Structure 1
Amino acid sequence: MTQTTPSANPEATPSADPAADASTTPTEPPWANDTVEFANTSSAPATWYGGTWRPFRNVIVCRMVPGSEDKVGPVFAYYDRTTRPQDLGVVGRVLLSYEGLYLHVIERKEDPEVSGQRRGLPAFQAIAEAIAPYVTPYPSYWQNPSHSVAKHFYTWVPEGEVSLDREMTVIVQRMKPGTEEDIARVFAESDAGGLPTETGVTGRWLYSMEDVFVHLLEQDRVKAAAVRENHESMRPAFAKVMANLAPYVSPYRPETWQSPRDSVARVFHRWTAPDWKPEA
């Protein structure tokens, strides 16, 4: 099947990323000299972590021209600085790249099915035109921007309040299409035991896009660092989970994969609304 890709003119074809969809484009890109910084984890403001609240997250999966983070990231950085996404319900954004994939985590005050606020930025068309040469659809069935939104199929969060010092890691793997229920079952069995607490897991969200499996893992920063330093002590427990997942999940790029760390996507843009926090 021939895959549809968007034109550089967003009025002719909408952007692959539904968070970028309609307005005006400046004649001189004001982000031209901006740079990006890479990180393996993403943090949120301490004001978000006063209790059990978590943002509602959508995950957008597209293809991205390798090495174009410095073209895409500054576009969003500029409009996140100069517009007010929080007025549309968006309070955070994380852009990541992984092996030719573009991942866009949109963090909202609440589920747009409840709030009715679905737009991601006021300057949709400007963003669409700027990123169109670099970001294109992933799924074979793509016909409109909503088809770039990954399917959310599993969530686990512990009961009660957790550490205020948390970080999020985004893990990307290949999955056998249609096995969401099997993958969810494996994680549910593991999360029902002591492993999440022992490794500092404070939240887990799983998403799929055809053969792409995206795992948003939130952890206590101190416990996560300790696990990374002493991974061998947890190897048997991790190995059991990996063995149970093996029929359904594999490295996205097996020819270059050597360890679980090779499945971690890199953050190249992070924004959180500076003047918003959850209600007490």
Structure 2
Amino acid sequence: MQNPRKAARPARRSRSSAHGGGGRDGTAPAGKCWLFGTHAVAAALANPRRVYERLLVTEAEHPVLEEAARAGGRGLQVNPELVQRARLDDLLGPEAVHQGVAMLAQILPSLSLEEALERPGPVLVLDQVTDPRNVGAILRSAAAFGAACIVVQDRNAPEETAVLAKAASGALETVPFVREVNLSRAIEMLQKAGCWTVGLDAGGTILNGAGFDGRRVALVLGAEGRGLRRLTRESCDEIAGLYMPGEMESLNVSVAAALGLYELVRRGMPAA
């Protein structure tokens, strides 16, 4: 995005190849994905909406097994498979920081925008942000700052993969990820639901959370590099940027999302 704006242009992932890092045999069947890493897998085990098929661990006393035991107590069928670390390296790819655990799970069922808006908090709208690591980091910030949901355009957003889930550090299981066909129409739906939509981009006022007088805000962030598309920009109620007094003119989109959310919620912080 542009001011706050800057990130590497990512590669597009297809829905049918949602795997966790490009291992030789790590491609999951359609509708499923591999998750890896202690936080991501533990959060998936704690999520009652998550359906999984395999749980692989490299240690008989791996920390994630505590959450697996709790899941078993809730009536879920948990049968961890003990495997060699080399097996996970081969399955997920040499660059996957799997921490000795991986899970084959079904893709989470989608919530409608109406259902997601029943949750309190600000909303994030991502306009063709396609880098799964950036989206995962945004999910993590959304969870940290109590965002209601993240809204994306279905055909121009990353699929649910282990890379995204690892970057989200468990937030994929707690923050609804709403996919819409038409983003401008989704912004209109947000406005009708009472959200004040703010495009975070250059050429506007400085974002000031205290100025919204208790209104619910939906922050709209543009794609890495090129920012908000014209139609998306014109659909927003206003355009605002982040206060940046230094020499840098741009920020990574995930950093911009975190700062924007902080600015929105800090007006409700308790006095020191």
TM range (shorter): under 0.3
- TM-score, normalised via structure 2 length: 0.27
Query: Comparing both structures, which one devotes a greater share of its residues to strand?
Result: 1
- TM-score, normalised via structure 1 length: 0.27
Query: Comparing both structures, which one devotes a greater share of its residues to helix?
Result: 2
